């Protein structure tokens, strides 16, 4: 275990940035976002960023390739993938868990080389949640906000920042930071106890996932409650764009006049034109699209991934949905309604 005084946090961030490109959550008005660090930037005091740390591995818009067309000849110019190491600092436990879920999608064969390059060059430094909010329910999915995963785990403990290496990448990073001193174990234990005292009182702690598994797939799929749940949904896609585990995308080609640019852009299963084909779309109604989103996270994904759910309980969709229709209401309605 290593530690450093909070008053020296700026010096520590400068030292990290001197070694590798550094990203951390910083305040932008009333929200926080992950930005590239510049000396003098302050770590956000907010619990979570508006959008998740997923952006650093799976960006909203990604330039994949260019095509030069001359007559009947086409020259393909692949875009350069991530080649430089970087540090992602201040990731919360829920977002750290989301990386494991995204890995199951993008690192499975055939591997997504753009995502894989970013993951291989990143050192993830997580930060324990000092003050979980009422919209948080990560513990329902077995996530401990007091002990997040990552290459390095960090805790803010009063006047100290304590850091523990979990991987060889983490050990290498901490070994290269002479500002750090040994110690901090007792402070971390106290900080973890304080966090658990908060999470034990959160209103969504008792959310029951009984029946959300592959064995009850058709029961959930055919539930009559989907009509009521989906009736007020606007299909705006806000929930998918703030979700740390959503991975839907579309690939589009744009003619610039001199070349064709191929871009990968986030998409949403909540949109009426999602997976639109020549004959139409496979989910023509809002009910079907709404059902697909939540069945995937709560039933399909765990059924195919050793019981791991496609949600990490970050609570972003609870805050962002304009009509307050979110995954918690789905779980409560289907769970209570089917028993």
Between 263 and 158, whose confidence is greater? Answer: 263
pLDDT, position 227: 95
Residues 6 or more apart in contact with residue 41 via CB below 8 angstroms: 13, 24, 26, 35
Task: In whole angstroms, give the CA distance from residue 307 to residue 224.
Answer: 25
**Tokens linked to 147:** 């002990």
pLDDT per position as a tens digit, 23-50: 999 998 889 999 999 999 999 989 999 9
For position 333, what pLDDT does the model report? 94
Q: How many CA atoms lie within 13 A of 97 on its CB side?
A: 22
CA geometry: angle at 209 spanning 203 and 211, to 5°?
A: 150
Q: How far apart are CA 263 and CA 63, in angstroms?
A: 5
Cα–Cα distance for residue pair 63/130, rounded to 1 Å = 37
Q: Which residues pair with 252 in a beta bridge?
A: 263
- The residue extents of the domains of the chain are 2-199, 214-338
Closest CA to 119 of 147, 150, 94, 92: 150
Side-by-side strand order, sheet with 160-165: 31-36, 21-28, 86-91, 122-127, 152-157, 160-165, 2-5, 181-182
pLDDT in tens, 310-339: 999 999 999 999 998 899 999 999 986 554
Please report how many Cα atoms fall inside a 13 Å half-sphere around the Cα of residue 164, on the Cβ side.
19
pLDDT digits (tens, 9 = 90+) for 138-173: 999 999 999 999 999 999 998 999 999 999 999 999
Q: What is the pTM of this model?
A: 0.92
């Amino acid at each position: 275990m290593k530690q450093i005084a909070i008053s020296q946090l700026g010096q520590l961030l400068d030292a990290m940035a001197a070694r590798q490109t550094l990203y951390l959550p910083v305040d932008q008005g009333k929200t926080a976002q992950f930005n590239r660090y510049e000396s003098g930037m302050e770590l956000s005091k907010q619990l979570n960023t508006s959008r998740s740390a997923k952006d650093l591995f799976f960006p909203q818009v990604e330039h994949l390739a260019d095509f030069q067309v001359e007559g009947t000849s086409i020259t393909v110019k692949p875009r350069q993938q991530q080649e430089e190491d970087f540090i992602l600092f201040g990731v919360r436990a829920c977002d750290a868990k989301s990386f494991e879920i995204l890995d199951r999608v993008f690192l499975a064969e055939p591997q997504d080389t753009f995502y894989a390059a970013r993951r291989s060059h990143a050192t993830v430094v997580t930060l324990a949640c000092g003050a979980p909010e009422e919209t948080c329910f990560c513990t329902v999915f077995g996530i401990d906000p007091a002990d997040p995963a990552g290459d390095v785990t960090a805790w803010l403990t009063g006047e100290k920042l304590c850091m523990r290496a979990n991987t060889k990448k983490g050990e290498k990073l901490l070994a290269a930071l002479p500002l750090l001193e040994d110690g901090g174990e007792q402070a971390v234990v106290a900080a973890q106890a304080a966090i658990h005292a908060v999470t034990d009182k959160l209103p969504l702690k008792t959310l029951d996932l009984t029946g959300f598994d592959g064995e009850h797939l058709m029961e959930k799929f055919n539930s009559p409650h989907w009509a009521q749940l989906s009736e007020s949904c606007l299909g705006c896609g806000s929930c998918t764009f703030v979700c740390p585990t959503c991975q839907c995308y579309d690939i589009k080609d744009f003619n610039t006049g001199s070349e064709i640019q191929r871009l990968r852009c986030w998409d949403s299963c909540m949109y009426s034109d999602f997976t639109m084909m020549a004959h139409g779309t496979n989910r023509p109604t809002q009910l079907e699209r709404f059902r697909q989103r939540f069945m995937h996270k709560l039933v399909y994904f765990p059924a195919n991934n050793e019981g791991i759910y496609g949600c990490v309980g970050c609570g972003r969709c609870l805050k962002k949905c304009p009509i307050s229709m979110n995954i918690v209401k789905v779980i409560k309605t289907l769970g209570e309604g089917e028993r």
